[in-house]
Amino acid sequence: MATIVQIDPTQQLDPFKSVKKIPTHEFFTSGHRTCQGCESALVMKMMVKAAGPRTIVLGSTGCMYVANTTYYSTSWVVPWMHTQLGSSGSAALGAAAGLKAQMRKGKMKQEPINVIAFCGDGGGADMGLGAISATMTHPDYNLLILLYDNESYANTDIQLSGSTPWGANTTFSTPGSVKRIMHHRWKKNMAGLMAVGHPTCRYVATICMSYGLHGMNSIRKALTIGGPTFIHSLDPCPKGWDYDPIQSHELGELAVQCGIWPLYEVEDGKLRLTGRTQQIADGKIPRKPVRDYLLRQGRFAHFTNDDLDYFQSKIDQMWTKWLIPGVIPFEKDLAADNPPA
């Protein structure tokens, strides 16, 4: 049978065995002006360190565009291209297709070059969702879309996005005496959406750079597997979440340990819980109450005990009722699941 899809070789990026094995060379260096405690900047630094020098990075408008590449400076050592807010998926597809064509024609040396496009939650979960979704259906090209999620339009002063948690205080959802909860939508399940809705997407993972080695190795795995791949990173944001910048790392850990941010990967359709999430699922460590996480952040300072209980109930539901806990939110009705004779 003729080969329909021709996938080029990828770089073989073995996982780092330990922190000590991570190279010291930086490809995201000084020159940016991100906020103190910005976890998204850490994601950029570790993303490209995991990918290595033969990498092209594209990024849509957002914090990691504006803060990293304005005012006469850039922090990128590797080639970098800005794309418009909704365009990270399409731009990555074009870059990967361009490289492939140049190599096929012999105009470039045949070598695996990583193509990574990042987007914020506004650019990825809102505006760019269609472009990323379409890109994930192209099996022919090796590329990674990394969604860095600080749960608001932080670059334009913290407006809510499709990824903002229920009830959070943003400049579009300011709590007041007339109405306490101004944001009623629940955060989009982007990684689940990508994994379930895109059979050609070869690898999906959730990460949090509070667990840096895990995050970097997930990125290396995505780039090694090739084809269209997607990683969703949760990034604590001192400005948008309203906490002392020194707590960024700890808040990321708490998001995972409370079960709000499950770590998992789906490789060619096979799901595996990873990191602390695996330990919680196995009962090795307890799942912490969400109030430990929420009350550390000013954006939830208006929450009453009822609000906290509601939030906890939604997370409990995610772990006890979902068809695949933390990943797939269908609830299987076993009683009704009797096919007709």
Per CB under 8 A, residues contacting another protein are 61, 66, 82, 84-86, 122, 126-127, 129, 153, 156-157, 159-162, 171-174, 176, 178-179, 182
The amino acid that residue 173 corresponds to is: S
Nearest Cα residue to 68 out of 31, 35, 42, 39: 31
Here the tokens at position 329 are 């939110």
State how far the Cα of 10 lies from the Cα of 228, in Å rounded to an integer.
Answer: 12
Which CB sits closer to another protein, 178 or 341?
178
CB of 166 to another protein, least distance (A): 14
DSSP string, 283-305: TSSPPPPTHHHHTTSGGGTT--H
Name which of 84 and 279 has its Cβ closer to another protein: 84
The whole-angstrom separation of Cα 246 and Cα 117 is 28
Residue 129, SS3 per DSSP: helix
Residues ≥6 apart with Cβ < 8 Å to 314: 166, 186
Q: 323: how many CB neighbours lie within 10 A of its CB?
A: 10
How far apart, in whole angstroms, are the C-alpha atoms of residue 56 and residue 141?
Answer: 14
Separation of alpha carbons 50 and 155, rounded Å: 26
In order of 168, 175, 181, the CA distances from 185 in angstroms are 10, 15, 10
In angstroms, what is the minimal distance from the CB of 176 to another protein?
A: 6
Q: How far is the CB of 57 from another protein (least distance, A)?
A: 17
Q: Which is nearer to another protein, 123 or 275 (CB)?
A: 123
Which C-beta is closer to another protein: that of 176 or that of 340? Answer: 176
Q: How far is the CB of 183 from another protein (least distance, A)?
A: 9
The kind and range of the H/E element at 106 are none
Question: What is the nearest approach in angstroms of another protein to the Cβ of residue 127?
Answer: 4
In the complex, the smallest distance separating the C-beta of residue 144 from another protein, rounded to whole angstroms, is 23
Q: Please, what is the minimum distance in Å from the beta carbon of residue 119 to another protein?
A: 13
Please, which residue, 124 or 325, has the CB nearer to another protein?
Answer: 124
CB of 314 vs another protein, minimal distance in Å: 21
Residue whose CB is less far from another protein, 87 or 206: 87
Considering the complex, state which of residue 126 and residue 235 has its C-beta at the smaller distance from another protein.
126
Residue 69 or 297 with smaller CB distance to another protein: 69
What is the pairing mode between strands 203-207 and 264-267?
A: antiparallel
H or E, element range at 232: strand 228-234
Residue with tokens 């109030």: 291
